């Protein structure tokens, strides 16, 4: 028996034979071409085919794993037709007279090296994307079809890492789990594995040997344990864990339609995070009580130009109508930082996470902001809407945003366009500045929603995109939990409700702490609703509140 420790990034137990993912390699031949126009057309045809294939993969990803997974492929579509990328390939073909395969290969290497050398972790990650897109185009030019799994039985798939296109094309009925030598909790493999409910372990390093293939392996996606040739005792333990997980899932199904109430009668709203109108089906299927975060930026990310007022209105209207009176909180456009869009023409920044992003863009571009707010208020006539502003640091920002809301409402009233007067206004708490002035901010708004991903990043000075930081990026850090307590207290003193819409909302290890702090709402991915409901119903805040609050006050490091 051989035990290997990696990082568990998608919970679940997988037991079966080990199989190494095999890529079909494309041999690049270099030759001079005389008819450069014909060679350029060869590339353009392959490029068009690649974009079409990526569109199909995006729809497949949306069906299997949701809108965020689909966005990976839509981003690749944009990269495939990036003007700089295309012009570099055209120059190679027409000026250097190189064949299309060699030109794509050279430009891919050049762009990947350029991205990898950048200081920004988000831009470094684009190196893998440009290689993946270029590999697809090369495969089409060469007539090579990427393979899947040449096995008749389900397997545990081992690889260095998997590109999103490789992951989504795999036959899921043959996947018992993923094991990768590299990667992180935010890698494409981890994200897709979680959304598809497949156990996954990353970061095991170069420990697998060729002779391991075909041998029985057991993995625990919660702990990161990989056991090759498990002995009888270990195998029995893993099988028992798997049975417990299956029983838990059956039990969770019985919670559909049940209230989110603690043992001592405290009610908590459990809402969902979504990225597109199509995601509402998953919210309703998983019994979400409302939508605590609709990431409106996906409307912009999925468009080649600014979406019009009517296009936005139709999207917001659909979500509100489909939710049939349940609360829907829509965040105004949150681009910049790790979500860059070419047509926004944002300046290059040394530190984009702290640069022109989110509400800062909206306030700096009033016509752009006004268009979105008009669409939101028009849609408010069709349901219960909350509007939320991201990346707030100062009271004046909120007041400026509210002035624009009043201006838009006046315009709509003059035009005779219906809207609701009951729209709640809220802000994201995701900066230390917002925490420290939350007492004043609470006087300006109806609710707070804590974006714990960015709040952790800014509080701990840890880049959330940097996979090398490991244990330094600690979302359970006492400083973060104390910050949430400060914000909750200030919200309640001023009549605001407070929610959490970051990843921590679904962290069941912290559910009891959040309830003790006074969190009123938790907004999570649709698949996390029932497990969270189960955790809430098992808590008795009368027994835990005093203890947890004392631990926070005394800097209890075990948290």
Would you please indicate which residues are annotated as catalytic (active-site) residues? 188, 501
Q: Compute the distance between CA of residue 314 and CA of residue 338 in angstroms, rounded to an integer.
A: 27
Of the candidates 152, 155, 162, 224, the residue with the CA atom closest to the CA atom of residue 187: 162
Task: Decide: 530 and 255 in contact? Cβ < 8 Å.
Answer: yes
Which 8-state DSSP code applies to residue 406?
H
d(CA 190, CA 199): 9
103 phi and psi, to 5 degrees? -65, -45
Q: Give the Cα separation of 437 and 481 in Å (integer).
A: 17
Q: Is 95 helix (H, G, I), strand (E, B) or coil?
A: coil
Quick count: other Cβ atoms within 10 Å of Cβ 37?
10
Count of alpha carbons within 13 angstroms of residue 190, beta-carbon side = 19
The three-state secondary structure class of 403 is helix
CA 440/CA 140 separation, integer angstroms = 58
Q: Residue 445 — φ and ψ, nearest 5°? A: -135, 175
3-state secondary structure of 204: coil
Strand ranges (E), 479-557: 497-500, 521-524
The residues, any chain, with a CB within 8 Å of residue 380's CB and separated by 6 or more, are 320, 419, 420, 422, 423
Q: Which of 193, 200, 194 is nearest to 226 (CA)?
A: 200
Q: Could you give the C-alpha distances from 515 to 397, 481, 484, 519, 534, in angstroms and in order? A: 30, 12, 11, 6, 14
Strand order in the sheet with 7-10: 2-5, 225-228, 216-220, 13-20, 155-159, 175-180, 200-202, 7-10
CA of 393: how far to CAs of 328, 427, 451, 491, in Å?
Answer: 24, 10, 13, 16
Would the CA dihedral through 375, 381, 382, 386 be positive or negative?
positive
Reduce the DSSP state of residue 13 to 3 states and report it: strand
Helix (H, G, I), strand (E, B) or coil at 248: helix
For residue 312, the surrounding DSSP H or E stretch is: helix 309-322
72 contact partners, CB below 8 Å, separation of at least 6: 61, 164, 188, 191
């Amino acid at each position: 028996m051989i035990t290997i420790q990696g990082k568990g990034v998608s919970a679940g137990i997988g037991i079966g034979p080990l199989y190494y993912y095999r890529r079909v390699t494309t041999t690049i031949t270099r030759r001079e071409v005389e008819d450069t126009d014909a060679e350029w057309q060869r590339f353009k045809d392959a490029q068009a085919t690649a974009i079409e294939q990526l569109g199909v993969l995006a729809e497949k990803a949306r069906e299997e794993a949701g809108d965020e997974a689909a966005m990976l492929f839509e981003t690749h579509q944009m990269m495939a037709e990036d003007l700089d990328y295309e012009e570099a390939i055209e120059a190679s073909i027409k000026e250097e007279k190189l064949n299309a395969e060699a030109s794509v290969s050279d430009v891919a290497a050049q762009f990947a090296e350029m991205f990898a050398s950048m200081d920004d972790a988000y831009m470094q990650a684009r190196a893998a994307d440009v290689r993946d897109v270029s590999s697809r185009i090369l495969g089409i030019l060469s007539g090579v079809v990427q393979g899947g799994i040449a096995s008749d039985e389900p397997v545990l798939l081992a690889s260095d890492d998997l590109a999103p296109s490789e992951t989504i094309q795999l036959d899921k009925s043959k996947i018992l789990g993923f094991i990768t030598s590299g990667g992180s909790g935010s890698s494409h493999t981890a994200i897709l594995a979680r959304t598809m409910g497949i156990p996954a372990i990353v970061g095991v390093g170069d420990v697998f040997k060729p002779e391991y293939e075909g041998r029985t392996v057991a993995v625990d996606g919660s702990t990161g344990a990989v056991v090759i040739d498990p002995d009888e005792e270990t195998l029995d333990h893993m099988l028992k864990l798997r049975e417990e997980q299956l029983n838990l899932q059956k039990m969770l199904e019985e919670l559909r339609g049940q209230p989110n109430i603690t043992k001592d009668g405290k009610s908590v709203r459990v809402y969902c995070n979504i990225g597109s109108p199509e995601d509402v089906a998953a919210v309703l299927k998983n019994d979400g009580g409302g939508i605590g975060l609709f990431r409106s930026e996906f409307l912009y990310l999925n468009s080649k130009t600014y979406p019009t007022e009517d296009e936005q209105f139709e999207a917001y209207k659909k979500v509100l109508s489909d939710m049939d009176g349940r609360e829907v909180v829509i965040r105004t456009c949150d681009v910049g930082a790790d979500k860059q869009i070419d047509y926004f023409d944002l300046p290059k920044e040394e530190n984009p996470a702290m640069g022109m992003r989110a509400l800062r863009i909206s306030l700096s571009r009033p016509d752009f902001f006004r268009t979105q707010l008009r669409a939101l208020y028009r849609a408010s006539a069709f349901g219960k809407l909350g509007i939320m502003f991201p990346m707030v640091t100062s009271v004046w920002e909120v007041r400026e945003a509210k002035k624009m809301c009043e201006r838009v409402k006046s315009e709509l009233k003059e035009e005779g366009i219906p809207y609701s007067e009951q729209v709640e206004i809220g802000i994201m708490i995701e900066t230390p500045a917002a925490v420290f002035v939350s007492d004043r901010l609470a006087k300006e708004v109806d609710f707070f929603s804590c974006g714990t991903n960015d709040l952790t990043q800014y509080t701990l000075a840890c880049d959330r995109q940097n996979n090398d930081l490991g244990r330094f990026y600690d979302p359970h850090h006492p400083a973060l939990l104390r910050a949430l307590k400060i914000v909750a207290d200030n919200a309640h003193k001023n009549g605001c409700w407070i929610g959490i819409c970051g990843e921590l909302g679904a962290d069941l290890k912290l559910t009891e702490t959040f309830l003790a702090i006074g969190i009123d709402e938790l907004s999570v991915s649709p698949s996390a609703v029932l497990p969270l409901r189960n955790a809430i119903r098992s808590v008795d805040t009368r027994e835990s509140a005093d203890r947890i609050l004392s631990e926070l006050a005394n800097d209890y490091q075990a948290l």
